[in-house]
Amino acid sequence: MSGTASSAPLPSDSAVPLGKGYMGVGYVQDGKDFKPDTRQLHLGKKVPGVDLLANPMGVDVSHYQGTINWGSVRAAGIEFAWMKATEGTSYKDPKFSANYLGAYNARVIRGAYHFARPDVSGGAAQADFFASNGGAWSRDNLTLPGVLDIEGSCYGKSASAMQSWILDFYNRYKARTGRDVVIYTSPSWWNSCTGGWTGMSARSPLWVAHWTTAGSPSIPKGFPYWTVWQYTSTGSVSGISGNVDRDRFGGDRSRLLALANNTP
């Protein structure tokens, strides 16, 4: 995964140190109120909305994974990946450039993510930093839209203030890139920190974090369905040392390419 699965829960009113954020770092806190889902994840078993054999598999990574052999990752069946690019308005992941180019050369459809820090600056400023340092987009069959990774604490903001922060990020990112930013979050965080806001469901695809063996994830209030599902933090993939977050796309490869290329 992008860090360590055994991380202690974060205090609800604090943020990780700048630069230490990664997808799932706040999940232990965010997911504390999940009820177990007893349905098991079996390859080949039909579950609503998911064909476990047809839906493309992916990973998300950061510098915590070290050097990655992207050729081996692609050969293992991984079709897409998002990698950490930025955090706040000053931090750049030291492995981003190598991961972004390595995945491209291995023909892995890849994109960048920004770890949100609503406590250090406004959403528009962080979207500018992200777009200028990895979050750009081009229609080349291999580039996904950028992701806003928002999790952990509520950063001292009210639900309405958090909604405004997210919308400011979205608007500036779209102005810079022409794309709708993907939102990565957990149901608990979104429900608690935005009040289950419906305002992004018609704008942003949802990437939901729910680490479970169930056949489908829980999703936040305010979203009708998920587009990407991060289903475990303890996956194993050839070419990546140690645990890695594993993800599944909600449609087939043609829909993954449609997301990448911004086509119907």
* Residue 78 host element (H or E): strand 78-87
Of 30, 79, 151, 180, the active-site residue reads 151
Number of residues in the chain: 264
Q: Look-up: residue for tokens 């054999």?
A: 53
Could you tell me what percentage of the chain is helix, strand and coil, using 3-state DSSP and rounding each to the nearest 5? 25, 20, 55
Query: Could you say which of 30, 60, 128, 245 is catalytic?
Result: 60
The whole-angstrom separation of Cα 4 and Cα 245 is 10
* Cα–Cα distance measured from residue 63 to residue 225, given in angstroms and rounded to the nearest whole number: 30
149 catalytically annotated: yes
Quote the CA–CA distance of 179 and 164 in Å, as a whole number: 19
Annotated catalytic residue 79: no
Q: Which of 79, 93, 128, 149 is catalytic?
A: 149
Angle CA 182–187–191, to nearest 5? 100
Residue found under tokens 């098991």 = 40
Please indicate whether residue 245 is annotated as part of the active site: no
So which residues are the catalytic ones?
60, 149, 151
